[in-house]
């Protein structure tokens, strides 16, 4: 019988992967009445409790008879780094004031968050980010993606990426930094802006794992997105992501034909036939964000059934932002059931 530092079991239900390490599209494995053997900081075996308890003797033991045990949760889509808040705008939204009108009133909406973020010191932003990173750990999240995006000016975006990287070292969870090209500035020619963003990619190289473009009506056009993605791919070292087909379908998800896009996110207006396009191309995940479906008060839903039957892997995220203030992935899973029609095994 092998001696290990920790045995966890019996566990009512263990959700794990069929093969390790988990790879794109791999199925999950659910074991009832399970056990886990841990030695030092490594899980060395999982299986039924009867076999684990026969094979190993643990210095410590955790009983989990009434528990469901999963791997650490991954939140793959957050806008975690911003200063200020906009809860007063919710009242206007509920009164039916259109977002464009909120934008006009005293620089509301996203531009208000941008000026609060740009006006905050590095130290203030670090403190805000770290307190949120400690909070996510309480909900069982162990890996989190954090986007820049509230700087708009490329120099500010690089500053935010530096703060994300600097804070990651002191965070209780793993942090994946993403350079988000969020919205066009109001006081600059769009073409000039896209060129400035492209120029900043060299500085983002060691600071961001992904480049993400908000491709949509009211944000960047398909052509602008294409120009940015092309330059990001040419430079290498970045994964590509898209906020796509959220507000309207303008052809953003079709960009999977031209680029290897790791993740297409939101997809409330994804045409069903494009699910096949994404599946044929392979390698892309559809990241669905049900809290945002609520906060947009939208009747639109991502085409979950079509994505499932085409075989596109789906992920869930919080999309934490001034508009969707939740860091709780368990709540996200619950909403995915009620709002998106996902079944519990498909969310695992």
In sequence order, the 6+-apart residues with CB closer than 8 A to the CB of 342 are: 288, 304, 314, 316, 336
Q: Which is nearer to Zn ion, 231 or 319 (CB)?
A: 319
From residue 219, give the alpha-carbon distance in Å to each of 214, 224, 260, 264: 6, 10, 21, 16
The least distance separating Zn ion from the CB of residue 8, rounded to whole angstroms, comes to 35
The least distance separating Zn ion from the CB of residue 319, rounded to whole angstroms, comes to 5
The least distance separating Zn ion from the CB of residue 242, rounded to whole angstroms, comes to 10
Q: Which is nearer to Zn ion, 112 or 182 (CB)?
A: 182
**What DSSP element (H or E) covers 235?**
helix 222-235
Q: Which is nearer to Zn ion, 110 or 125 (CB)?
A: 110
| CA 63 to mean position of chain CA atoms | 32
In the block, residue with structure tokens 């494009």: 274
The least distance separating Zn ion from the CB of residue 103, rounded to whole angstroms, comes to 17
> At what angle are helices 154-168 and 110-119 packed, to 10 degrees?
70
Q: Which residue is nearest to Zn ion (CB)?
A: 319
Sign of CA dihedral 306, 310, 311, 313: negative
Instruction: Pull the structure tokens for residue 217.
Output: 């009506």
The least distance separating Zn ion from the CB of residue 53, rounded to whole angstroms, comes to 45
Number of residues that bind Zn ion (CB under 5 A): 1
Q: Which is nearer to Zn ion, 53 or 178 (CB)?
A: 178
Q: Which is nearer to Zn ion, 79 or 226 (CB)?
A: 79
Q: Which is nearer to Zn ion, 53 or 225 (CB)?
A: 225
The least distance separating Zn ion from the CB of residue 266, rounded to whole angstroms, comes to 7
- Whether 141 and 73 have beta carbons less than 8 Å apart is answered as yes
Cα–Cα distance, 246 to 223 (Å, whole number): 17
Q: Which is nearer to Zn ion, 216 or 319 (CB)?
A: 319
The least distance separating Zn ion from the CB of residue 195, rounded to whole angstroms, comes to 24
**Bridge partners (DSSP) listed for residue 68:** 13
The least distance separating Zn ion from the CB of residue 180, rounded to whole angstroms, comes to 7
Cα–Cα distance, 252 to 221 (Å, whole number): 8
SS3 call for 102: helix
Binding mask 293-332 for Zn ion (x = CB under 5 A): --------------------------x-------------
In the block, residue with structure tokens 């839903």: 301
Q: Which is nearer to Zn ion, 36 or 89 (CB)?
A: 89
Residue 272 CB neighbour total at 10 angstroms: 12
Residues 10-69 that bind Zn ion (CB under 5 A): none
Query: How does DSSP assign 302-345, residue by residue?
Result: --HHHHHHHT--EEE----BTTB----HHHHHHHHHHHH---HH
- Residues at the site binding Zn ion, with contacts judged by CB under 5 A: 319
């Amino acid at each position: 019988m092998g001696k290990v530092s920790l045995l966890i079991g019996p566990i009512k239900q263990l959700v794990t992967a069929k093969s390790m390490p988990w790879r794109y599209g791999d199925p999950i494995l659910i074991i009832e009445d399970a056990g886990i053997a841990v030695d030092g900081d490594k899980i060395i075996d999982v299986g039924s409790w009867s076999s684990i308890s026969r094979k190993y003797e643990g210095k410590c033991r955790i009983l989990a008879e009434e528990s469901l045990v999963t791997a650490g949760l991954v939140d793959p889509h957050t806008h975690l780094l911003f200063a200020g808040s906009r809860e007063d705008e919710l009242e206007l939204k509920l009164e039916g004031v259109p977002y464009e009108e909120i934008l006009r009133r005293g620089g509301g909406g996203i531009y208000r968050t941008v000026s609060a973020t740009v006006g905050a010191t590095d130290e203030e932003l670090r403190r805000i980010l770290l307190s949120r990173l400690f909070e996510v750990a309480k909900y069982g999240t162990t890996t989190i993606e954090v986007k820049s995006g509230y700087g708009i000016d490329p120099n500010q975006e690089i500053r935010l990426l530096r703060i994300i990287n600097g804070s990651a070292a002191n965070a209780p969870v793993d942090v994946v930094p993403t350079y988000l090209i969020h919205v066009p500035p109001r006081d600059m020619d769009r073409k000039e802006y896209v060129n400035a963003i492209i120029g900043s990619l060299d500085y983002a190289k060691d600071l961001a794992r992904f480049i993400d473009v908000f491709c949509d009506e009211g944000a960047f056009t398909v052509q602008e997105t294409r120009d940015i993605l092309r330059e990001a791919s040419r430079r290498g070292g970045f994964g590509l992501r898209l906020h796509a087909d959220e507000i309207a379908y303008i052809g953003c998800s079709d960009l999977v034909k031209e680029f290897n896009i790791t993740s297409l996110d939101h997809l409330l207006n994804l045409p069903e036939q494009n699910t096949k396009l994404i599946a044929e191309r392979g390698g892309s995940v559809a990241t669905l964000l049900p809290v945002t479906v609520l906060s947009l008060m939208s009747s639109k839903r991502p085409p979950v059934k079509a994505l499932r039957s085409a075989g596109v892997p789906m992920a869930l995220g919080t999309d934490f932002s001034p508009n969707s203030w939740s860091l709780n992935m368990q709540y996200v899973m619950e909403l995915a059931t009620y709002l998106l029609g996902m079944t519990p095994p498909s969310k695992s």
